[in-house]
Amino acid sequence: MRKRFFIIFFIIFLSSKAQEKIVLQNGDFIFQSMNCGPLCDAINEVTDGYKGHDFSHMGMVYIKNDAVYIIEASGQEVKVTPWETFKTYTNQKMYVGRLKKKYQKYIPSAIDFSLKQVGVPYDDAYIYNNQKYYCSELFYDAFLFAYHKPFFKLEPMTFISPKTKAFFPVWVDYYKQQNIEIPQGQLGCNPGGISKSKKLKIIGTLD
């Protein structure tokens, strides 16, 4: 009887822990699969996120006067977006990443850097260090600035389908319209890669 009671208590305990609400704090990363059509599908096919999840976008939590905002690079520029708006980008669960305690001291400096980039054009060429920012590139530089050396990793980018071994047609058309070569093999970063960083922990999901 005692053993049965313990098992029931343990199950209830685990259930209550699983239902605990995540309280967002400054510097938390929000990873999501943004609804952006074929481009996001191509990104998802060649990048791998936490436990195999697809992440095509990310932002960083910024709390001001008890209101929750997300610093992000999307659309036309780097911007500060209300949390309620950011949530509408996807119809899937979003994953929350939190820096491990020993790294959290770098968050204020990274936020300051990111806020100073508000208005910087979106990097639709996805080329690192061209005075523009795409989502993960912004936070690579923010923590490079705060940490004074690389905090996250840059990896060779690929625009080639692992299935066909050829460039995704959507990328061929995309870069043709910009009249630039596909930056195959150039160093870059992506939300999936950052979500797997050993410097942070995925603490749960949000709808």
Range of the domain at 76: 22-151+191-206
Q: How far is CA 94 from the centre of its chain?
A: 10
Average pLDDT for residues 137-145, to the nearest whole number?
A: 98
Whether residue 12 lies inside any domain: the answer is: no
Whether residue 201 lies inside any domain: the answer is: yes
Whether residue 103 lies inside any domain: the answer is: yes
Residue 108 has pLDDT above 60, yes or no: yes
2 confidence band (pLDDT: 50, 70, 90)? low
Number of domains in the chain: 1
Quick check: 206 and 96 in contact, CB under 8 A? yes
Stated pTM of the model? 0.89
pLDDT at 151 (0 to 100): 98
Burial 41-75 (b: 16+ CB within 10 A, else e): ebbbebbbbbeebbbbbbbbbbeeeeebbbbbbbe
The CATH number of residue 135's host domain is 3.90.1720.10
Residue 48 has pLDDT above 70, yes or no: yes
Whether residue 13 lies inside any domain: the answer is: no
Whether residue 126 lies inside any domain: the answer is: yes
Average pLDDT for residues 54-58, to the nearest whole number?
A: 95
Whether residue 92 lies inside any domain: the answer is: yes
Whether residue 158 lies inside any domain: the answer is: no
Whether residue 15 lies inside any domain: the answer is: no
Residue 36 has pLDDT above 90, yes or no: no
Residue 66 has pLDDT above 70, yes or no: yes
Model pLDDT for residues 181-206, shown as the tens digit of each residue: 999 999 999 999 999 999 999 999 99
